[in-house]
Amino acid sequence: MKIELINETESTNDYIKRYLDGGEDVIVCAARQTCGRGTKGRAFLSEAGGVYLSALTFYKGVPASDAFCVMTHASVSVCRTAEAFGISPVIKWPNDVYVKGKKLSGILIENCCSEGLLKYSIVGIGLNAENDLSSLGGIAVSLSAAAGRKISVAEARDKLIENYRTADTFSDYLRYAVTQCTVRILENGREYTAFINRILKDGRLEIQTEEGVRALSAAEITVRL
Ligand code: BTN
């Protein structure tokens, strides 16, 4: 697998698209991004001190209905990376990694499916290593702050690449994912309280409210822990 380290780009998720015609898996890591992209059209703070990684993976014969495994794999790789530095992470469904209530990493996935099959995925991971996150008002944390010692971008990046290249299972994901607790749910501008029962293999979240049990996708709702 090709691994390319670059200094700066607008967004590694866009930069990596130059490899789409090659048909070969690639990982690109940038020291900073000038136009980092988050989920739901938001910007992602991408100054030096973080790991900004995108991985392009081609698939053969994987049903589009199994695409949740792309998300579970990305978030498990981040959790294993945090654990390698003595930190205990959790996954907030579907794939944000938190440490003691603060966001350690964000993941942006772009899947390409056709004729019912997953063709390729671009997985973008932003992992805070030793960056100054003070402008975010205490909602985010770096590996260094969580571990109480300096963890360099290079150490974090190398461990993340190693873990990204290691296989895992849905049970590994479930081991980190937060379930069996009460949360706030945002759905179509409405906010309500619900109990998280479980995460289904297709990626939907099964929640319980006074109105009954429902299974919802990440496109339909946002969870607030
Ligand atoms: C989020 O939490 O909203 C997702 C953030 C994803 C950020 C990563 S950094 C590498 C890749 N390039 C981007 O522009 N975004 C993703």
Work out the end-to-end distance of the chain between its first and last CA atoms, rounded to an integer number of angstroms.
37
- Distance of CA 31 from the midpoint of ligand 1 (Å): 13
Distance in angstroms (rounded) separating the CA atoms of residues 167 and 161: 12
Which residue's alpha carbon is nearest to atom 3 within ligand 1?
A: 38
Q: What is the rounded CA–CA span in Å between residue 6 and residue 52?
A: 10
What average pLDDT does range 128-135 have in this prediction? 94
> Taking the alpha carbons of 97, 99, 103, 104 in that order, is the dihedral positive or negative?
negative
Mean pLDDT, to the nearest integer, of 81-108?
Answer: 97
Q: Quick one: which atom of ligand 1 is closest to the CA of 38?
A: 3
The pLDDT score that the predictor gives to residue 39 is 92
Dist. CA 162–CA 159, nearest whole Å: 5
Pocket residues for ligand 1 (CB within 6 Å)? Answer: 11-13, 33, 36-39, 42, 44, 52-54, 106-108, 124-126
pLDDT tens digits for 168-205?
Answer: 999 999 999 999 999 999 999 999 999 999 999 999 99
The closest-lying atom of ligand 1 relative to the alpha carbon of residue 50 is 9
d(CA 34, CA 51): 13
This prediction's pTM: 0.96
How many Å separate Cα 16 from the centre of its chain?
A: 17
Average pLDDT over residues 89-98: 97
pLDDT at 40: 86
Pocket test of ligand 1: the residue of 44, 95, 109 to mutate, having most ligand atoms within 8 Å of its CB, is: 44
Give the CA distances from residue 162 to residues 78, 157, 166, 218, in Å, rounded to whole numbers and listed in that order: 10, 9, 7, 28
Flag the least confident range among 15-19, 76-80, 116-120, 135-139: 135-139
